[in-house]
Amino acid sequence: MTVISDLVAALTSEKVLTDPDVTDSYARDRTFLEPGRPLAVVLAETRDDVVTTLRWATGHRVPVVPRGAGTGLAGGATSVEGGVVLALHRMTAIRELSPADEIAVVEPGVITADLDRAAREHGLMYAPDPSSYEISTIGGNLATNAGGLRCVKYGVTRDSTLGLEVVLADGRVMNTGRRTMKGVTGYDLTGLFVGSEGTLGVITAATVRLHRAPSVYPATVAAEFTSLGDAAAAASAVIAAGCRPSLLEMLDRTTLKAIDDWRNIGLEDSTRAMLIAQSDAADGPAVAERMAELCTANGSPFVAVSSSAQEAQELIGVRRMAYQAMERLGKCLVEDVCVPRSALPYMIEKIEAVAARHDVLIATAAHAGDGNLHPVFIFDHGLAEPPPSVWTAADEVFREALEVGGTLTGEHGVGLLKRRWLSLEAGPVTEEIQRGIKRVFDPLGILNPGKAI
């Protein structure tokens, strides 16, 4: 505790928590993983708090795990034994919001939805919107390069990030990027940090791009299908037809049933899948009608088109409830493979085959518009970790995704859960280069050790 007393002296006891019953609540994310016991939790309120913590950690060679809201699904924010959790959720300032430049400068603890609401007061919006947008933080979104429902049109977090303020492992402060829409001076360090899962530095502010908010509420399409394959084929047809939806989401029967059992959404017995699509374009109603036609052509027996904001919000609410509904069924191993959009129907078919072959319950939701699938492997609440059948099924899903030119993770990050498969995608040369980059920024290996690479 002598080491911690130095940190307490530098930051005050109100910002450094050491009671094990309290620190345990900061040690976990939303995975089943059992965390290591942290020495302390630092409640950072300013950039200087982060600087002080990292200088201390470097001096004493203590691991540091940055943490936002703890909504991660890959184990990236789980604490390590004998380390310090650096909690950033109190850094909630929107330092600047410039309608003229269509940018905002925000601290990492800002809730994603709060930034979007602040932007809309000026006729703008913040595009990335993960399903956890009402509770996840900008810092966590940056750490994992989160996507969300609108990413099919507006891209993922990296596409909305112009510059960063980062505290390095030794406490030095570095600014990357710029406030302009264009700029190619030097290497793209901003892009490097986005998605690095806190292994290269701690982000204490971000300059993000805002977009003009649609002048009218997006036109919405809801289509039911009697097979998941038909739903996937319809999603591919929508993209191939050049409809450019602002949202294109898919839910399978298992997911819909879980939501229906919880919230009674009126699920029909014949419904095996649902597509929810939106267009926020100026000709949104016409685009929505075209997407509805494509759903019908691909086997949907029921399609509804609406421009009602209330109806649309209720449908989007169903999509956002998916993970909570799955958690009610058991513990979840949540994956987020991403495949080329043309391979979506094939990948859906393979996931269903894997579930049947290994007798594993898999609930699949997807950002169908960009090929990002979330197969959730559900197992008994009483088990500490997934049984062998679940790991085997997950392994087959990952290998199938890579076989068709996909990736292990589209937006959740690698964390701890996917490290065992990294070599399948990256290869030895890439892995060597990534370890070299890690050494440049974190030579002592104290930043979120064991995660991401």
Buried b (16+ CB within 10 A) or exposed e, 252-269: bbbbbbbbbeeeebebee
- The CA distance from 376 to 9, in Å, is 45
Place of tokens 């004493």: 60
pLDDT digit string, tens, across residues 146-170: 999 999 999 999 999 999 999 999 9
What tokens does 286 get? 């016409």
| Cβ pair 434, 178 in contact under 8 A | no
CB neighbour burial string for 299-314, b if at least 16 within 10 angstroms, e if fewer: ebeebebbeeeeebee
Task: Please provide the average confidence, as pLDDT, over all residues in the chain.
Answer: 96
Predicted confidence (pLDDT) at residue 37 exceeds the cutoff of 60: yes
For the chain, helix, strand, coil in percent to 5 are 40, 20, 40
State the Cα–Cα distance between residues 314 and 321, nearest whole angstrom.
Answer: 11
Please report, for the chain, how many H helices and E strands are present, in that order: 15, 18
Asked if 378 contacts 324 with a C-beta cutoff of 8 angstroms, the reply is: no
At residue 1, the pLDDT reads 54
Per-residue pLDDT at 12: 92
Q: Is the pLDDT of residue 85 over 80?
A: yes
User: What global pTM score does this model have?
Assistant: 0.94
Q: Does the structural domain 94-212 have CATH classification 1.10.10.10? A: no
pLDDT category at 5 given cuts 50, 70, 90 is very high
User: pLDDT tens for residues 224-279?
Assistant: 999 999 999 999 999 999 999 999 999 999 999 999 999 999 999 999 999 999 99
| Domain range summary for the chain, segments of one domain joined by + | 2-87, 94-212, 219-323
Q: Which stretch of DSSP H or E encloses residue 291?
A: helix 284-297
Q: Which of 55-69, 99-113, 250-264, 299-313 has the lowest mean pLDDT?
A: 299-313
Closest C-alpha among 85, 154, 149, 145 to residue 113: 149
Q: How far is CA 229 from the centre of its chain?
A: 25
Q: What is the DSSP string of 123-188?
A: TEE---B-TTTTT-BHHHHHHHT--BTTHHHH--GGGGEEEEEEE-TTS-EEEEE-SSS---SS--
Pairing of strands 84-87, 161-167: unpaired
* Contact partners, residue 123, CB within 8 Å, separation at least 6: 99, 212, 213
The 10s digit of each residue's pLDDT in 183-220 is: 999 999 999 999 999 999 999 999 999 999 998 889 99
Mean pLDDT of 76-98: 98
Q: Specify the 3-state DSSP secondary structure of 204.
A: strand
Segment 357-376 shows an average pLDDT of 96
What is the share, in percent, of the chain residues with pLDDT greater than 90? 95
Distance in angstroms (rounded) separating the CA atoms of residues 62 and 4: 10
Of 65, 67, 89, 77, nearest to 169 by C-alpha is 65
> What single-letter amino acid sits at 115?
L
DSSP class of 216: S
- Residue 3 confidence (pLDDT): 85
Residue 45 has pLDDT above 90, yes or no: yes
Record the tokens describing residue 3, joined without a space: 């080491």
| Residue, of 11 and 1, whose pLDDT is higher | 11
Average pLDDT over residues 76-93: 97
Q: d(Cα 303, Cα 296) in Å, to the nearest integer? A: 7
How far apart CA 386 and CA 72 sit, in angstroms, is: 18
pLDDT of residue 215: 87
pLDDT band at 355 (very low <50, low <70, confident <90, very high): very high
Q: What's the confidence (pLDDT) of residue 2?
A: 64
Domain 2-87 has CATH 3.40.50.261: no
HSE-CB at 224 with a 13 A cutoff on CA atoms is 14
Burial class (CB in 10 A: 0-12, 13-18, 19+), 398: buried
Amino acid occupying residue 188? D
Q: Rounded distance, CA 450 to CA 27, Å? A: 15
Q: What architecture (CATH level 2) is domain 219-323?
A: 2-Layer Sandwich (3.30)
Q: Percent of the chain beyond pLDDT 70?
A: 100
Quote the pLDDT of residue 307. Answer: 78
Angle CA 366–367–371, to nearest 5? 90
The average pLDDT across 65-92 equals 97
